[in-house]
Amino acid sequence: MSFEFKSESEPESFIRVDGVWKSFDTHPVLRGISLDVAAHSATVLIGASGSGKSTLLRCINALETVDAGSIVVDSELDVTAFNADLDAIRRRIGIVFQSYNLFPHMKVLENITLGPTRVLKRSKKESIEAAMQLLTRFGLEAKAHDYPDRLSGGQSQRVAIVRALAMEPEIMLFDEITSALDPMLVGEVLDTVRELREGGLTIVMATHEMSFAKEIADQVCFLRDGVVWESGSAEQIFEAPQRAETQSFLHRVN
């Protein structure tokens, strides 16, 4: 009873990033960054290139190991533990990259069913059915049997999103997923993200699409020099940023 009360009135942070450091060789990228993400919310990371957005996302699903600090998901899954269960982490956290990274030697359907059949050990039939359902939901069913080189950039990125969704994650990380796209194709990909947001997925997204960030974000974090320089609601950050660096960054990108 008390547990229910607690979880509903003051939701614990679903992803807690606590004092994370990460450097590549002698180059520090994350410098003690801390961040809380609530369940079923969308957090948007903004900031200049090199501010640590991508690295932070990669640390969250353990594609990079951290040098110090911790990242805990759902107050039980320590992503940064030495003996972290990578399977469990990646089942619960999906990621989509700027450069799609579809597997060029597999058809769209095979790209999507690879994880479910090999990692979740689902039957081929079941995986294909689920994949077709997802493809249909995002208007891609006609592409199921094409190779990735037959897709436009926008279609490729939507397939990459479907591929991550097929693992039924609770958290999706989007790493500048529209940066490599033709401006005309950005909309279709953002529509997809919007739909996922409405479906209640927890989203952490690095992006340069400020108007989209404004629309979708429950929380906006401005990253600079490997820390969260300023964070708040979309309104606070975009309408009334408090710190001079945030103001000048927003001024430059707008």
Q: Which helix (H) or strand (E) holds 29?
A: strand 27-38
Does residue 171 touch other proteins according to CB under 8 A? Answer: no
Q: Taking phi first (over 0 means left), then psi (-120 to 50 degrees means alpha), and beta for anything else, what does residue 159 get?
A: alpha
Contact 177, 157 (CB under 8 A): yes
Which of 99, 179, 236, 247 binds other proteins (CB under 8 A)? It is 99
Does residue 130 touch other proteins according to CB under 8 A? Answer: no
Task: Compute how many residues bind other proteins; rule: CB under 8 A.
Answer: 29
Which of 17, 33, 66, 102 binds other proteins (CB under 8 A)? It is 102
Show the DSSP H helices in 97-216 as ranges.
Answer: 108-118, 124-137, 153-165, 183-198, 210-216
Which of 94, 226, 232, 241 binds other proteins (CB under 8 A)? It is 94
As given in the structure block, the two tokens for residue 182 are 């033709």
Which of 104, 139, 199, 200 binds other proteins (CB under 8 A)? It is 104
Does residue 180 touch other proteins according to CB under 8 A? Answer: yes
Which of 53, 56, 97, 229 binds other proteins (CB under 8 A)? It is 97
**Strands 93-96 and 171-175, how do they pair?**
parallel
Span from 86-94, 132-140, 202-210, 222-230 in contact with other proteins (CB under 8 A): 86-94
Residue 91 has a CB neighbour count (10 Å cut-off) of: 16
Does residue 53 touch other proteins according to CB under 8 A? Answer: no
Question: What is the distance between the alpha carbons of residues 91 and 170, in angstroms, rounded to a whole number?
Answer: 8
Residue written as token pair 């707008």: 254
Q: Which helix (H) or strand (E) holds 31?
A: strand 27-38
Q: Which helix (H) or strand (E) holds 35?
A: strand 27-38
Does residue 148 touch other proteins according to CB under 8 A? Answer: yes
Which of 81, 86, 142, 253 binds other proteins (CB under 8 A)? It is 86
Which of 51, 61, 127, 155 binds other proteins (CB under 8 A)? It is 61
As given in the structure block, the two tokens for residue 233 are 């609601």
Does residue 101 touch other proteins according to CB under 8 A? Answer: yes
List contacts with other proteins (CB under 8 A). 61, 63, 86-87, 90-91, 94-95, 97, 99-105, 114-115, 118-120, 148-149, 153, 156, 163-164, 167, 180
